[in-house]
């Protein structure tokens, strides 16, 4: 297994729209294992393949307290989303240190494939629901800061670019 580099906002590669996963082969199994290792190491609760510069519809999630409930969503589709929506604070491994409120559906029903290509249905609420919606946005090339005001977004962009420059120096 290996840790994968995570793209940082405003890296333009984060805007890429992912394509469906086609082959459930060894390469995919390695990618899934590496994404889990990368997510756990970074203390994240979700990671989309987009964030590790692989533009395929693959998400890994673990919102459990014990960090022992890995969930793989491949080619996910939202079948139903509750009309009720609430604002919750979100963060993102691609936008380190930034947290802000984003409005999401309270509940979602999602159909996806697992690592072996078997279909499964996830009915999510709370943190898991928020996380799935956040990660599915990544697959569409959308980072959560896009929901914030242009003023806030520009401040975040400036802050991220400064931090990235300082990290290089």
Catalytic machinery residues: 135
Rounded to a whole number of angstroms, the minimum distance from the CB of residue 138 to Ni ion is 6
Does position 14 interact with Ni ion (CB under 5 A)? The reply is no
Q: Which residue has the tokens 């996830």?
A: 122
Give the tokens for residue 6: 């995570």
Return the number of the residue (24 or 141) whose C-beta is nearest Ni ion: 141
Closest of 63, 38, 66, 72 to residue 52, by C-alpha:
38
Return the number of the residue (14 or 112) whose C-beta is nearest Ni ion: 14
Rounded Cα distance, 160 and 163, in Å: 5
Candidate segments 6-14, 92-100, 116-124, 148-156, binder of Ni ion by CB under 5 A? 92-100
Please give the size of the binding site for Ni ion, defined by CB under 5 A.
1
Return the number of the residue (92 or 130) whose C-beta is nearest Ni ion: 92
Rounded to a whole number of angstroms, the minimum distance from the CB of residue 28 to Ni ion is 21
Rounded to a whole number of angstroms, the minimum distance from the CB of residue 22 to Ni ion is 24
Return the number of the residue (24 or 147) whose C-beta is nearest Ni ion: 147
Candidate segments 20-28, 75-83, 85-93, 105-113, binder of Ni ion by CB under 5 A? 85-93
Q: Strand pairing partners for 165?
A: none
Q: Is the peptide bond before 48 cis (omega within 30 degrees of 0)?
A: no
Coil, helix or strand for 14? helix
Task: Identify the residue among 4, 39, 92, 124 touching Ni ion (CB under 5 A).
Answer: 92
Candidate segments 55-63, 84-92, 105-113, 117-125, binder of Ni ion by CB under 5 A? 84-92
Rounded Cα distance, 107 and 21, in Å: 25
Rounded to a whole number of angstroms, the minimum distance from the CB of residue 25 to Ni ion is 26
Rounded Cα distance, 169 and 167, in Å: 6
53-91: string of b/e by CB count within 10 Å (b at 16+)? ebbbbbbbbbbeeeeeebbbbbbbeeeebeeeeeeeebe
- Residues in touch with Ni ion (CB under 5 A): 92
């Amino acid at each position: 297994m290996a840790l994968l580099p995570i793209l940082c906002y405003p890296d333009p590669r984060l805007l890429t729209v992912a394509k469906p996963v086609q082959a459930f082969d060894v390469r995919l199994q390695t990618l899934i294992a590496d994404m889990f290792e990368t997510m756990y190491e970074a203390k994240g609760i979700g990671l989309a393949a987009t964030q590790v510069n692989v533009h395929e519809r693959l998400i890994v999630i673990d919102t459990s307290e014990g960090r022992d409930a890995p969930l793989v969503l491949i080619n996910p589709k939202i079948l139903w989303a509750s009309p009720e929506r609430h604002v919750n604070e979100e963060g993102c491994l691609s936008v380190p240190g930034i947290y802000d409120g984003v409005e999401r559906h309270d509940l979602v029903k999602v159909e996806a494939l697992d690592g072996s290509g078997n279909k499964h249905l996830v009915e999510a609420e709370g943190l898991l629901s928020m996380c799935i919606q956040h990660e599915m946005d990544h697959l569409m090339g959308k980072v959560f800061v896009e929901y914030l005001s242009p003023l806030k977004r520009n401040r975040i962009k400036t802050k991220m670019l400064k931090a990235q420059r300082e990290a290089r120096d």
